[in-house]
């Protein structure tokens, strides 16, 4: 795999990985050396020093015992003897502890041999100490001095020699450990310096290699970018690597080729844009003229709709008044119907009373008939009675005459009642007929009232609809006026687009393409300015509405050379 094909991240990772590996190696080596130094220091502190201290304690103890024995021979005070003996015993105990510690911790053969000799001499020295103490306590001082000089002093000398030899051996071992730690430190220092120098040199080499592999393609890409920025699109861009910088060069090549194609397309399309802008301007002028005509027609339509609205509103008012009159007539007819119904009820009651009177007359007639019969019977009986019944016959005759007159009056009343009943029945029939007729009149009036109400409602709805149509026509008039203003703006925008097409041609002329002999001169397709538009006569509302938008159109013409796209929202509305 070629190094130039490696991605920049891989190169950086590999370079830093090597440096980190060297740093890790330095850390491992340093830790190993420090562990060795620490082991030596720990051996000196926790092993050699306690042994040296124990050996020193033995020497001090031996000397203190010898001094105590000498002090005992210099005085005869028993209390002092006892104190010296107690001190000797305590010193023996301390020496024994030191010997036990050395016996359990010494590993060096020479040290253990010296310790064995020292223990042998101590074994010989202690009985001599006891004998000397006994002679002193028995006040045999001369014998004690002779024993000390002849027997005990040589043993003490041998014991000190063995103890000093053991102490010297411990010092020697401690020095060896310290020398080994110092040698380890020196070795670690040299190795650290060596690894550091190697890491620094390798890091510098890797940094230089990575820098060169990045900066060279980057400088080349920068030169290409500057060439493109200067308008030169004729550069030959090649890349022989597949890393990020190689991909950047390939992207710059694609950008250069695409930009060259775009510039060529823009050059070829500039004249087409100018021609299209000229056509748009011409169409905008035609559209402006037709829009003015449409605005005039809409004004006339709005005037007619206003007159129709006024007439329809008057018709609706008349329909409402007729509806009020129809409702009043309906109320009067309803009241007349109620009166007819009351008269019909009264006639029915009169007819019923006449029927009752006829029944009463029939009863009276029957009573008169029976009275007449009774009078006849009384006359017959009076005739039979002769002279005695003459007065009774006279009374019966009078009663008979009265009964006959009552019957005659009852018949006359009955005839009158029958005639009245017949007339009442005829009147009731006429009243019923009048009631039916009145109900039909009320029903007809109610239907007329309903129809008038429907006509009034329809007239109101028609008025509302015509008013809505009038408002819609007015809105269409306003929109048409706005469209006229937008047509003016579109014409101005078309002119601005022509100017921008020329400006665009000049802008792309700075680029040099393969096969160009020089800069391409910009093509101007700017048409002749259109003749000013004359407003149609009778368009007061249009003239009042157009200036609201014409200011924006004028601003567009003034600023079109700088920012023709500033009126995109008005184009969308148009």
CATH code: domain of residue 130: 1.20.120.1730
- 302 Cα distance to chain centroid: 51
Whether residue 32 is found in the same domain as residue 176: yes
Whether residue 162 is found in the same domain as residue 119: yes
The residue-averaged pLDDT of 24-33 equals 77
Least Cα distance to 243 among 524, 458, 1 occurs for: 1
Residue 294 lies in a domain: yes
Cα(26)–Cα(19) distance, rounded to whole angstroms?
A: 10
Whether residue 443 is found in the same domain as residue 337: yes
Query: Residue 489 belongs to a domain with what CATH number?
Result: 1.10.287.950
Whether residue 272 is found in the same domain as residue 364: yes
Residue 30 pLDDT > 80: no
Whether residue 149 is found in the same domain as residue 259: no
Residue 407 lies in a domain: yes
pLDDT of amino acid 484: 74
Whether residue 278 is found in the same domain as residue 193: no
Whether residue 212 is found in the same domain as residue 257: no
Residue 491 pLDDT > 70: yes
Whether residue 178 is found in the same domain as residue 30: yes
| Residue that finishes a domain, picked among 217, 238, 269 | 217
Cα(432)–Cα(427) distance, rounded to whole angstroms?
A: 8
Whether residue 442 is found in the same domain as residue 480: yes
Q: Are 152 and 125 in contact (CB under 8 A)?
A: yes
Residue 419 lies in a domain: yes
In 10 A of CB 340, how many CB atoms? 21
Residue 222 lies in a domain: no
Whether residue 469 is found in the same domain as residue 569: yes
Is residue 274 packed enough to be buried (19+ CB in 10 Å), middle (13-18) or exposed (0-12)? buried
| Residue that finishes a domain, picked among 202, 217, 232 | 217
Residue 224 lies in a domain: no
Cα(487)–Cα(58) distance, rounded to whole angstroms?
A: 124
- Give the SS3 label for residue 66: helix
C-alpha Rg value of the chain to the nearest Å: 76
The pLDDT tens digits for 525-539 are 444 444 444 444 444
pLDDT of amino acid 5: 60
pLDDT of amino acid 558: 38
Residue 459 lies in a domain: yes
Residue 463 lies in a domain: yes
Whether residue 188 is found in the same domain as residue 283: no
Q: Which two tokens stand for residue 356?
A: 């009752």
> Mean pLDDT for the chain?
73
| Burial per residue of 224-250, b for 16 or more beta-carbon CB atoms within 10 angstroms, e otherwise | beebbeeeebeeebebebebebbebbe
Residue 346: domain span:
247-573
Cα(103)–Cα(93) distance, rounded to whole angstroms?
A: 15
In the chain, pLDDT over 90 holds for what percent of residues? 0
- Which is more confidently placed, 538 or 357? 357
Residue 500 lies in a domain: yes
* Count of the separate structural domains present in the chain: 2
| Burial per residue of 360-387, b for 16 or more beta-carbon CB atoms within 10 angstroms, e otherwise | ebeebbeebeebbeebeebbeebeeeee
Whether residue 320 is found in the same domain as residue 390: yes
The residue-averaged pLDDT of 491-515 equals 72
Among 242-256, 296-310, 513-527, 552-566, name the one with the lowest average pLDDT: 552-566
The set of residues, in sequence order, having a beta carbon less than 8 Å from that of 273 and lying 6+ positions away, is: 497, 501, 504, 525
Q: Are 309 and 463 in contact (CB under 8 A)?
A: yes
């Amino acid at each position: 795999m070629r190094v130039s094909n490696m991605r920049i991240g891989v190169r950086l990772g590999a370079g830093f990985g090597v440096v980190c590996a060297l740093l890790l190696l330095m850390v491992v080596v340093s830790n190993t050396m420090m562990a060795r130094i620490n082991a030596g220091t720990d051996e000196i502190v926790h092993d050699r020093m306690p042994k040296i201290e124990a050996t020193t304690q033995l020497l001090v103890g031996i000397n203190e015992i010898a001094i105590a024995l000498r002090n005992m021979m210099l005085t005869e005070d028993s209390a002092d003897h006892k104190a010296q003996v107690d001190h000797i015993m305590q010193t023996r105990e301390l020496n024994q502890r030191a010997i036990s510690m050395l016996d359990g911790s010494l590993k060096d053969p020479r040290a253990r041999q010296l310790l064995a000799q020292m223990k042998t001499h101590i074994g010989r020295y202690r009985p001599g100490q006891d004998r000397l103490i006994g002679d002193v306590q028995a006040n045999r001082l001369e014998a004690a001095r002779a024993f000390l000089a002849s027997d005990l002093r040589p043993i003490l000398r041998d014991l000190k020699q063995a103890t000093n030899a053991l102490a010297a051996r411990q010092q020697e071992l401690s020095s060896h450990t310290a020398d080994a730690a110092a040698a380890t430190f020196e070795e670690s220092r040299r190795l650290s310096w060596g690894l550091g120098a190697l890491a620094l040199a390798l890091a510098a080499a890797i940094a230089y290699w990575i820098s060169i592999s990045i900066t060279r393609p980057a400088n080349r890409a920068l030169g290409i970018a500057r060439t493109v920025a200067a308008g030169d699109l004729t550069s030959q861009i090649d890349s022989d690597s597949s890393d990020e910088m190689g991909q950047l060069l390939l992207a710059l090549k694609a950008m250069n080729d695409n930009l060259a194609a775009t510039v060529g397309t823009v050059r070829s399309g500039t004249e087409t844009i100018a021609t299209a802008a000229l056509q748009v301007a011409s169409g905008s002028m035609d559209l402006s003229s037709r829009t003015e005509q449409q605005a005039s027609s809409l004004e006339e339509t709005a005037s007619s709709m206003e007159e129709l609205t006024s007439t329809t509103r008057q018709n609706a008012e008349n329909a409402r008044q007729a509806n009020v009159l129809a409702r009043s007539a309906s109320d009067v007819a309803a009241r007349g119907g109620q009166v007819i119904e009351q008269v019909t009820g009264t006639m029915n009651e009169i007819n019923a009373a006449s029927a009752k009177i006829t029944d009463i007359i029939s009863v009276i007639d029957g009573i008169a008939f029976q009275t007449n019969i009774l009078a006849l019977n009384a006359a017959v009986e009076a005739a039979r009675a002769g002279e005695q019944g003459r007065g009774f016959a006279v009374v019966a005759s009078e009663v008979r005459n009265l009964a006959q007159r009552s019957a005659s009056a009852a018949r006359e009343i009955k005839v009158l009642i029958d005639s009245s009943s017949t007339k009442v029945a005829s009147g009731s029939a006429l009243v019923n007929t009048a009631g039916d007729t009145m109900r039909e009149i009320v029903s007809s009036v109610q239907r007329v009232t309903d129809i008038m109400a429907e006509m009034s409602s329809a007239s109101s709805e028609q008025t509302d609809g015509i008013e809505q149509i009038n408002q819609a026509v007015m809105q269409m008039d306003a929109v048409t006026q706005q469209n006229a203003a937008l047509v003016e703006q579109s014409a101005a925008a078309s002119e601005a687009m022509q100017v921008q097409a020329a400006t665009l041609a000049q802008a792309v002329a700075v680029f040099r393409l393969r096969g160009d002999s020089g800069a391409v001169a910009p093509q101007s397709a700017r048409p002749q300015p259109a003749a000013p538009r004359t407003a149609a006569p009778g368009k007061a509302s249009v003239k009042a509405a157009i200036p609201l938008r014409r200011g924006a159109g004028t601003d567009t013409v003034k600023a079109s050379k700088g920012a023709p796209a500033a009126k995109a929202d008005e184009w969308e509305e148009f």
